Structure 1
Amino acid sequence: MRRRRPHARLLLTLTALLGLSLGTAPTATAATTTPEDRGTALPIAYHCDLAVDQLHQRVFISDYNTGTVLVADYQGRLIGTVKNLPGVCDLELSADSRTIYAPLALGDAISVIDTGTAKERARHSTGAGTVPFHVALSGQTLFFGYGEDWEASIGSLTLNTTPPRVRLGLVPEGDFNGAPLMVTSPAVPGRLVAGDQRTSPGSIGVYDVSGTGLVERTWVREPGGSSAFNDLALSPDGKTLLTASGGVYHHPSFRLPDMKEGHTYPSTTYPTAVAASSRGDIAAGVDSTEPEPDIFLYRLGASSPYRTVTLAPATGYNNGGLRPRGIAWSPDGTRLFAISEHNDEDHLRLVVVPSAHKPASG
Structure 2
Amino acid sequence: MPRRLPRARRLLTLAALLGLSLGAAPATQAAPADEGTALPIAYHCDLAVDALHERVFISDYNTGSVLVADYQGRIVRTIRDLPGVCDLELSADSRTLYAPLALDDAISVIDTGTGRQRARHATGAGTAPFHAALSGRTLFFGYGEQWEASIGSLTVGTSAPKVRLGLIPEGDFSGAPLLATSPAAPGTLVAGDQNTSPSTLSVYDVSGTSPVLRTTVRDPGGASSFSDLTMTPDGETLLTASGAPYHHPSFRLPDLTEGHTYASTSYPNAVAVSSRGDVAAGVNSIEPDPDVYLYRAGADSPYRTVSLAPATGYDAGHLRPRGLAWAPDGTRLFAISGHSDEEHLRLVVIPSAHRSTVD
Shorter-chain TM-score above 0.5:
yes
- Where does residue 259 of structure 2 map in the other structure? 262
Contact 2:152 2:167 in 1 (8 A): yes
Listed as ranges, the gaps of 5+ residues in structure 1 are: none
Query: SS at 1:224's partner residue?
Result: helix
Q: Which segments of 5 or more consecutive residues in structure 2 lack a partner in the other structure? A: 3-13
Q: Distance in 2 between matches of 1:191 and 1:62?
A: 26
Alpha-carbon distance, 1:342 to partner: 3.1
The CA deviation at 1:320 is 3.6
- Give, in angstroms, the shift of residue 211 of structure 1: 3.7
| CA deviation after TM superposition for structure 1 residue 344, in Å | 7.1
Contact kept, 8 Å, 1:241 with 1:254, in 2: the verdict is: yes
**Aligned pair in 2 of structure 1 residues 343, 111: CA closer, same or farther (>3 Å)?**
closer
Judged with a 3 Å threshold, the aligned counterparts in structure 2 of structure 1 residues 315 and 345 are, in CA distance, closer, same or farther, namely farther
Identical-pair percentage: 73
Cα distance, 1:343–1:178 mapped onto 2, change above 3 Å: closer
- Give me the whole-angstrom Cα distance separating, in 2, the residues matched to 1:179 and 1:334: 32
Offset, 1:102: 0.3
Instruction: State the Cα deviation string for residues 197-245 of structure 1 (Å, max 9, x = none).
Output: 1111110010001344200000001100000100001111010000000
For 2:339 and 2:129, how far apart are their aligned partners in 1? 29
Equivalent position of 1:88 in the other structure: 85
Aligned position for 2:94:
97
Is 1:289–2:286 an aligned residue pair?
Answer: yes
Segments ≥4 residues shifted beyond 4 Å: 313-316
CA distance in 2 between counterparts of 1:153 and 1:285 reads 28
Whether the aligned pair in 2 keeps the contact of 1:319 and 1:343 (CA below 8 Å) is: no
2:123 equivalent among 121, 126, 132:
126
Aligned counterparts of 1:315 and 1:57: Cα–Cα separation in 2: 29
- 1:249 maps onto 2:246 in alignment: yes
Letter in 2 for 1:32: A
Q: Distance in 1 between matches of 2:129 and 2:232?
A: 26
Take 1:177 and 1:358, find their aligned partners in 2: how far apart are those partners?
40
What is the 5 A alignment of 1:28-39?
Answer: 32-35=30-33, 37-39=34-36
Q: 1:315 to 1:229 in 2, by over 3 A?
A: farther
Corresponding position of 1:307 = 304
Residue 158 of structure 1: how far off its partner (Å): 1.0
Asked if 1:216 corresponds to 2:232, the answer is no
Structure 2 counterparts to residues 125-204 of structure 1, below 5 A: 125-204=122-201
C-alpha contact 2:310 2:316 (8 A) present in aligned 1 = no
Q: Secondary structure at the match of 1:257?
A: coil
Displacement of 1:314 after TM fit? Answer: 9.5
Q: Which amino acid aligns with 1:224?
A: G
Please give the secondary structure, in 1, of the residue aligned with 2:30: strand
- Change in 2 beyond 3 A, CA 1:315/1:324: farther
How much does 1:89 deviate? 0.3
Query: Deviations along 1:41-87, whole A, 9 cap, x unmatched?
Result: 00000000000000000000000000000000000000000000000
SS in 1 for 2:214: strand
SS of the aligned residue for 1:66 comes to coil
Structure-2 change in CA distance of 1:315 and 1:75 (3 Å):
closer
TM-score w.r.t. length of structure 2: 0.89
Give the aligned partner of residue 55 of structure 1.
52
Q: C-alpha displacement at 1:315, in angstroms?
A: 11
The superposition leaves residues 243-290 of structure 1 with CA deviations (integer Å, 9 ceiling, x where unpaired) of: 000021000001110000011000011100000000010000000034
Change in Cα spacing, 1:46 to 1:343, as seen in structure 2 (3 Å) is: closer
Aligned length: 339
In the alignment, the residues of structure 2 paired with residue 342 and residue 151 of structure 1 have an alpha-carbon distance, to the nearest angstrom, of 32
